[in-house]
């Protein structure tokens, strides 16, 4: 999580890591990696949802992350596309799984629009089932991340980006 420039508050949410242990992890990481470009971020994590839905490419990236979170058993979607938190607690294993999902996302989307904190925010936002939800495409039946308050044409980002007439 340090390597992904996660905010200290986010790391602290993963139970089992005391402030002291996080500080030591930072010290060890910087000493061993020699990477001074990594920032230790403090304060509040970003909270708006607009970045996940502002364009079809953003929606596609957010949808990829949701699928990876499901693969890593952090989320599950029921038959009505309602999304639930699946992992029982925010522990160290939870943090590992978020990192794994995020690293796979970076491989799939080299020009990743969402950094680690945004990915974390997406994971926490989608389970509230209020501002974000999983819509179903009327053309290919895929699920995709959508803004609950936006006009939904029911076209997923992949179909939208394929350029075929709707
Ligand atoms: Zn589609």
Average pLDDT over residues 6-18: 75
Question: Cα of 122 to ligand 1 centre, how many Å?
Answer: 21
- pLDDT top residue among 95 and 166: 95
Question: Cα of 108 to ligand 1 centre, how many Å?
Answer: 19
Helix (H, G, I), strand (E, B) or coil at 136: strand
Question: Cα of 142 to ligand 1 centre, how many Å?
Answer: 6
pLDDT in tens, 122-166: 999 999 988 999 999 999 999 999 999 888 889 999 999 997 655
> CA angle 48-53-57, nearest 5°?
130
d(CA 83, CA 124): 11
Verdict on whether the full-model pTM lies above 0.75: yes
pLDDT in tens, 47-66: 588 899 999 999 999 999 99
Q: What is the DSSP letter of 135?
A: E
Question: Cα of 162 to ligand 1 centre, how many Å?
Answer: 9
- pLDDT top residue among 29 and 120: 120
Question: Cα of 63 to ligand 1 centre, how many Å?
Answer: 12
143: which strand partners? 136
| pLDDT tier for residue 112 given thresholds of 50, 70 and 90 | confident
All residues at 6 or more sequence positions from 56 whose CB lies less than 8 Å from its CB, including other chains: 157, 160, 161
Q: Is the Cβ–Cβ distance between 38 and 5 less than 8 Å? A: yes
Question: Cα of 73 to ligand 1 centre, how many Å?
Answer: 24
d(CA 129, CA 76): 12
pLDDT at 81 over 70: yes
pLDDT at 105 over 90: yes
pLDDT at res. 28: 73
Q: What is the DSSP letter of 41?
A: B
Question: Cα of 68 to ligand 1 centre, how many Å?
Answer: 18
Question: Cα of 24 to ligand 1 centre, how many Å?
Answer: 47
Helix (H, G, I), strand (E, B) or coil at 36: coil
Question: Cα of 154 to ligand 1 centre, how many Å?
Answer: 8
Question: Cα of 61 to ligand 1 centre, how many Å?
Answer: 14
């Amino acid at each position: 999580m340090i390597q992904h420039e996660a905010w200290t508050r986010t790391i602290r949410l993963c139970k089992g890591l005391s402030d002291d242990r996080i500080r030591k992890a930072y010290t060890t990481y910087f000493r061993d990696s020699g990477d001074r470009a990594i920032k230790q971020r403090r304060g509040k994590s970003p909270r708006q949802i607009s970045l996940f839905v502002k364009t079809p490419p953003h929606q596609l990236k957010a949808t990829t992350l949701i699928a990876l979170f499901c693969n890593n058993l952090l989320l599950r979607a029921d038959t009505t596309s309602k999304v639930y938190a699946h992992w029982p607690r925010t522990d160290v294993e939870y943090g590992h799984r978020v990192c794994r999902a995020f690293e796979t996302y970076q491989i799939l989307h080299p020009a990743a629009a969402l950094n680690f904190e945004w990915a974390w925010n997406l994971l926490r936002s989608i389970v509230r089932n209020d501002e974000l939800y999983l819509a179903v495409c009327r053309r290919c039946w895929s699920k995709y991340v959508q803004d609950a308050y936006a006009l939904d044409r029911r076209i997923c980002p992949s179909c939208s980006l394929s350029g075929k007439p709707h």
